[in-house]
Structure 1
Amino acid sequence: MADWTDQLPEAARAYIAGRKPDEVECIVPDLGGVARGKAMPAAKFAKQTQFYLPDSIFLQTITGDWAERPGGAFTEPDMVLTPDFSTAIAAPWTADVTIQVIHDAYDQKGAPVSVSPRNVLKRILGLYRAQGWTPVVAPEMEFYLVARNTDPAKPIVPPIGRSGRPAAGKQAYSMSAVDEYGKVIDDIYDFAEAMGLEIDGILQEGGAGQIEINLNHGDPVMLADEIFYFKRMIREAALRHDCFATFMAKPIEGEPGSAMHMHHSVVDAATGSNIFSGPEGEETPQFQHFIAGMQKYLPAVIALLAPYVNSYRRYVPDFAAPINLEWGRDNRTTGIRVPIADAASRRVENRLAGMDCNPYLGFAASLACGYLGLMEQLSPRAEYKGDAYLAEDELPFTLGDALDLFEECKPIQEVLGADFCGVYEAVKRMEYKEFLQVISPWEREHLLLNV
Structure 2
Amino acid sequence: MILALGRIAIMANYGDKTHDAVANNAVNGEIAESPIDRIAKLLAGDKKVKVAGIDCDGILRGKIIHKSKFLSSLESGFGMSSAIFGWDMHDVLYTEETSLTSADSGYQDFTAVIDLDSFRRLPFEDNIAFFLLHFYIQEKPVFADGRGLVKALSNNLADSGYKGLAGVELEFMNFQTPSQDGYSSSTDRPNLAAFLANNAPKALRPVTAGAFGYSATRPIMAKQYFHDIFDQSLELDCPIEGWHTESGPCVYEAALAVSQVSHMADNVALFKSVFSTNAVKSTGLIYLSRLVCKSVGVQHNITPCFMAKPIQGLPGNSGHIHVSLTTKEGQNVFVRETPDADPRWPDMAYLSDTGRHFLAGIISALPDIMPLLAPNVNSYKRLVENYWAPVSVSWGFEDRLASIRLVAPPSCKPSATRFEIRVPGADIHPHYALSAIFYAGLRGIKNKMQITIPPESARPKETPAERLPNTLEAALGRFGAKDSVARQILGDEFVDFFTVSRRHELRQWREAVTDWEFSRYIETV
Alignment TM-score > 0.5, same fold: yes
8 Å CA contact 1:262, 1:349 repeated in 2: yes
SS of equivalent to 1:10 = coil
1:291 aligns with 2:359: yes
Following TM superposition, by how much is the alpha carbon of 1:55 offset from its aligned partner in structure 2, in angstroms?
Answer: 2.3
Q: 1:177-216 maps to which residues of 2 (within 5 A)? A: 177-216=218-257
2:63 match: 38
Taking the aligned partners of 2:213 and 2:272, their CA distance within structure 1 comes to 22
8 Å CA contact 2:150, 2:262 repeated in 1: yes
Distance 1:324 1:62, change over 3 A: same
Distance 1:159 1:22, change over 3 A: farther
Taking the aligned partners of 2:8 and 2:396, their CA distance within structure 1 comes to 45
Distance 1:145 1:386, change over 3 A: farther
1:24 aligns with 2:53: no
User: Residue 404 of structure 1 is aligned with which of 477, 481, 486?
Assistant: 477
Distance 1:42 1:410, change over 3 A: same
Deviates more, 1:81-90 or 1:56-65: 56-65
1:383 counterpart letter in structure 2: P
SS of equivalent to 2:365 = helix
Taking the aligned partners of 1:361 and 1:342, their CA distance within structure 2 comes to 29
Aligned residue-pair number: 438
SS of equivalent to 1:129 = helix
Q: 1:341-356 maps to which residues of 2 (within 5 A)? A: 341-356=412-427
2:418 counterpart letter in structure 1: R
1:151 match: 196
2:309 match: 250
1:183 counterpart letter in structure 2: Q
Q: For 1:78-116, what per-residue CA distance to the aligned partner results, in whole angstroms no more than 9, with x for missing partners?
A: 22112112111212222x4412210111223x2211111
Following TM superposition, by how much is the alpha carbon of 1:60 offset from its aligned partner in structure 2, in angstroms?
Answer: 1.6
Following TM superposition, by how much is the alpha carbon of 1:264 offset from its aligned partner in structure 2, in angstroms?
Answer: 1.0
Taking the aligned partners of 1:189 and 1:173, their CA distance within structure 2 comes to 16
1:403 counterpart letter in structure 2: L
Deviates more, 1:43-52 or 1:206-215: 43-52
Unaligned runs of 5+ in 1: 162-166
Deviates more, 1:296-305 or 1:116-125: 116-125
2:113 match: 82
1:151 counterpart letter in structure 2: L
User: Residue 133 of structure 1 is aligned with which of 155, 162, 184?
Assistant: 162
8 Å CA contact 1:156, 1:251 repeated in 2: no
Following TM superposition, by how much is the alpha carbon of 1:18 offset from its aligned partner in structure 2, in angstroms?
Answer: 9.0
1:275 match: 333
8 Å CA contact 1:289, 1:370 repeated in 2: yes
User: Residue 440 of structure 1 is aligned with which of 491, 510, 514?
Assistant: 514
Distance 1:387 1:445, change over 3 A: farther
Taking the aligned partners of 2:78 and 2:254, their CA distance within structure 1 comes to 34
1:164 match: none
8 Å CA contact 2:322, 2:418 repeated in 1: yes
User: Residue 297 of structure 2 is aligned with which of 238, 243, 254?
Assistant: 238
2:182 match: none
2:269 counterpart letter in structure 1: F
User: Residue 225 of structure 1 is aligned with which of 262, 266, 269?
Assistant: 266
8 Å CA contact 2:99, 2:497 repeated in 1: no
SS of equivalent to 1:371 = helix
2:430 match: 359
Taking the aligned partners of 1:418 and 1:193, their CA distance within structure 2 comes to 39
Taking the aligned partners of 1:10 and 1:446, their CA distance within structure 2 comes to 55
Distance 1:160 1:134, change over 3 A: closer
Following TM superposition, by how much is the alpha carbon of 1:42 offset from its aligned partner in structure 2, in angstroms?
Answer: 2.8
2:280 match: none
Deviates more, 1:84-93 or 1:257-266: 84-93
2:441 match: 370
Following TM superposition, by how much is the alpha carbon of 1:122 offset from its aligned partner in structure 2, in angstroms?
Answer: 2.4
Taking the aligned partners of 1:261 and 1:325, their CA distance within structure 2 comes to 15
8 Å CA contact 2:172, 2:253 repeated in 1: yes
Taking the aligned partners of 1:312 and 1:34, their CA distance within structure 2 comes to 20
Deviates more, 1:412-421 or 1:243-252: 412-421
SS of equivalent to 2:259 = coil
1:11 aligns with 2:36: no
Q: For 1:375-428, what per-residue CA distance to the aligned partner results, in whole angstroms no more than 9, with x for missing partners?
A: 232222112128999965611121111111100143321321221211111111
8 Å CA contact 1:247, 1:355 repeated in 2: yes
Q: For 1:305-358, what per-residue CA distance to the aligned partner results, in whole angstroms no more than 9, with x for missing partners?
A: 111111111011111211122111111111110123222221111000111011
Distance 1:392 1:382, change over 3 A: closer
SS of equivalent to 1:312 = helix
Taking the aligned partners of 2:248 and 2:121, their CA distance within structure 1 comes to 31
Taking the aligned partners of 2:421 and 2:353, their CA distance within structure 1 comes to 19
Following TM superposition, by how much is the alpha carbon of 1:449 offset from its aligned partner in structure 2, in angstroms?
Answer: 4.0
1:395 aligns with 2:468: yes
8 Å CA contact 1:299, 1:405 repeated in 2: yes
SS of equivalent to 1:106 = strand
8 Å CA contact 1:22, 1:98 repeated in 2: no
Taking the aligned partners of 1:227 and 1:388, their CA distance within structure 2 comes to 38
User: TM-score w.r.t. structure 1 length?
Assistant: 0.90
8 Å CA contact 2:11, 2:120 repeated in 1: no
1:418 match: 492
Following TM superposition, by how much is the alpha carbon of 1:129 offset from its aligned partner in structure 2, in angstroms?
Answer: 3.0
Identity of aligned residues (%): 25
1:107 match: 137
8 Å CA contact 2:174, 2:206 repeated in 1: no
Q: Which is greater in Rg?
A: 2
2:215 match: 174
Runs of 4+ in 1 over 4 A off after TM superposition: 16-19, 156-161, 386-393
Following TM superposition, by how much is the alpha carbon of 1:208 offset from its aligned partner in structure 2, in angstroms?
Answer: 0.9
8 Å CA contact 1:137, 1:265 repeated in 2: yes
Taking the aligned partners of 2:513 and 2:439, their CA distance within structure 1 comes to 37
Taking the aligned partners of 1:186 and 1:258, their CA distance within structure 2 comes to 20
Q: For 1:261-315, what per-residue CA distance to the aligned partner results, in whole angstroms no more than 9, with x for missing partners?
A: 111111133x532221234364212222222222221111111111111111101
Q: 1:302-313 maps to which residues of 2 (within 5 A)? A: 302-313=370-381
8 Å CA contact 1:334, 1:389 repeated in 2: no
1:92 match: 123
Following TM superposition, by how much is the alpha carbon of 1:186 offset from its aligned partner in structure 2, in angstroms?
Answer: 1.9
1:324 match: 392
Distance 1:52 1:206, change over 3 A: same
Unaligned runs of 5+ in 2: 16-40, 178-191, 277-294, 340-349
